[in-house]
Amino acid sequence: MKNRLKVLRAERDWSQADLAAALEVSRQTVNAIETGRFDPSLPLAFRIARVFGCTIEAIFQEDPAPPS
């Protein structure tokens, strides 16, 4: 799953630690989500959307399905 977390964070001049504190997760978790190595649960995705004041769809995009 792709996401715009890094861009949204940069727009607000927040560090990963700032965002982690706002979301009540570790900085490592923010980094893993940002780099696409970990997909957040739906509740965490909602929290992320709330912190940035936008919808989940505006932050996360499904990876295109691999060609069959």
Partner 1 sequence: MTIRSGWAAAQARNTVYLALWTGAWLVTLAVASLGPALLWDGHGAITLVALGVNLAVGAGMVLANKRHLLGLDELHRAVQLEAMAWTLGIGLVGGPAWQALETAKLLPFDAEIGHLMMGMALTYLVALAVGLRRFA
Q: CB–CB of 38/32 below 8 Å?
A: yes
What is the C-alpha separation between 45 and 48, in angstroms, rounded?
5
Binding mask 14-43 for partner 1 (x = CB under 8 A): x---x-xxx-xxx-xx-xx----xx-xx--
Size of the site for partner 1 (CB under 8 A): 19
- Binding to partner 1 by residue 47, rule CB under 8 A? no
**Which residues here bind partner 1, judged by CB under 8 A?**
12-14, 18, 20-22, 24-26, 28-29, 31-32, 37-38, 40-41, 44
